[in-house]
Amino acid sequence: MPSPVDDAARRAGALLTVDLGAIAANWRSLRDAGRAGGRSVECAAVLKADAYGTGATVVGPRLAAEGCRHFFVAHLDEGIALRRALPELPIYVLNGLLAGTEGDFIEHGLTPVLNHLGQLNAWRSTAQRFNRPLDAVIHFDTGMHRLGFGADEAQTLIDERGRLRGLRLALLMSHLVVAEEPANPINGEQLSRFRSFVRAMPGAPASFANSSGVFLGSDYHFDLLRPGAALYGINPQPGSPNPMAPTVTLNARILQTRRIDALQTVGYGAAWRSARPSRVATIALGYADGYFRILVNRTHVHLAGHKVPVIGRISMDLVTIDATDVPEADCQPGAMVEVLGAHMTVDDLADCARTNAYEVMTALGRRYARIHVDGQEPVV
């Protein structure tokens, strides 16, 4: 009997393969970068947006098995879903504490990142109401100006430590604005603001570095690294060779091929016209799968070792490629073309789409058959 994995692959128009072993290896190398400073820096994992499209409930337990002890998500519901897969370890909800959701945090054993005094007050009341010491994570805004305690609110907290009564100060955190630009002075300005805050709130561990922040050096590491992107293979140092292992491959099947004469158009809007007699292959993915419309005339796929241009408009469910130069035997319906993989990384595709690899990964469609492997082994 075929395995469920083989069965999914047999039916799939497009197949997304996530290598958990590669994600685990990336986590280890980030953890080791933290340890290289000689202090006992720990490494968390950011699993928001379904672990950047790779599957949070599968990635979370794999990283826990590797030794990861702290997990971050953005939304409460992401935390609830992850809690089922990770019964024990702390899960922090970055978007904070929405009024009326305190009971959900308690029920699922989740910890809100407290982004302002109002949230801190509500969490302290919750601790009183449930009569238990709850973990408090304080996010201090050092320059992003999205979420977090502003300078005035932070000073209030420093002056009035009683505001933490009934809570256990579990973590102080802040978030870098331009960590991928090591020479940008904003990094140092944020660092000195965060340092002052941490000094004024002694006794609690601190977390500052996202993926790129890990590579700014040990001054930026504090007690807990907080990488997302680099875990999933996105280059944390744009412009330099990528130190991370790639974690996703995406293959899409050829559904049909056809020969067309010169001066024929392909696809909606008659937007592409053949300059010569051509062979067009139609493959099973589209913008509904996160293959952005802007990619037309800007990227290629790989088929049997050949680089094949994407032509014509990208449709909701279909993409057309100019396979004229591929031997016919390699270009048959049912064959898989490589959309992401050894020849085209998520960073490469992001460049083609004039965006970043974060958007490419988090846009990966829900229609792909998803297979998780660990090295060569399928994970069931």
Q: Give the interface with ligand PLP as residue ranges (CB under 6 A).
A: 46, 48, 94, 175, 210-211, 226-230
Count other C-beta atoms under 10 Å from residue 40's C-beta. 8
Minimum distance between the CB of residue 37 and ligand PLP, rounded to whole angstroms?
18
Hey, how many other C-beta atoms are within 10 angstroms of the C-beta on 228?
20
- Exposed/middle/buried for residue 100 (C-beta within 10 Å: 0-12, 13-18, 19+): exposed
Going 85 to 91 to 95 to 100, the CA torsion angle's sign is: positive
Judged by beta carbon, residue 46 or residue 167, the one nearer ligand PLP is: 46
By beta carbon distance, the residue nearest ligand PLP is: 228
- Least spacing, CB of residue 211 vs ligand PLP, in Å: 3
Q: Where are the alpha helices (DSSP H) in 36-136?
A: 48-53, 56-66, 76-85, 102-107, 117-130
Rounded to whole angstroms, the Cα distance separating 74 from 96 reads 8
Q: CB of 216: closest distance to ligand PLP in angstroms?
A: 12
Reported residue count of the chain is 380
Q: Which is nearer to ligand PLP, 63 or 284 (CB)?
A: 63
Alpha helices in the chain (DSSP H): 4-11, 20-35, 48-53, 56-66, 76-85, 102-107, 117-130, 151-159, 185-200, 211-214, 346-352, 357-362
Find the shortest distance in angstroms from Cβ 212 to ligand PLP. 6
CB neighbour list of residue 93: distance below 8 Å, 6 or more residues apart: 72, 73, 74, 75, 76, 78, 79, 105, 110, 111, 112, 113
Q: Shortest Cβ distance from residue 346 to ligand PLP (Å)?
A: 12
Among residues 48, 52, 220, 358, the one annotated as catalytic is 48
Which CB, 134 or 225, lies closer to ligand PLP?
225
The DSSP H or E segment spanning 94 is none
Closest contact distance (angstroms) between CB of 147 and ligand PLP is: 8
CB-wise, 226 or 300, nearer to ligand PLP? 226
Which one of 52, 92, 220, 268 is the catalytic residue? 268
* CB nearer ligand PLP, residue 123 or residue 215: 215
Catalytic residue list contains 48 = yes
User: Residues 149, 139: contact at Cβ < 8 Å?
Assistant: yes
d(CA 91, CA 171) in angstroms, rounded, equals 12
* Integer CA distances (angstroms), 285 to 178, 361, 365, in order: 34, 15, 9
User: Which residues are designated catalytic?
Assistant: 48, 268
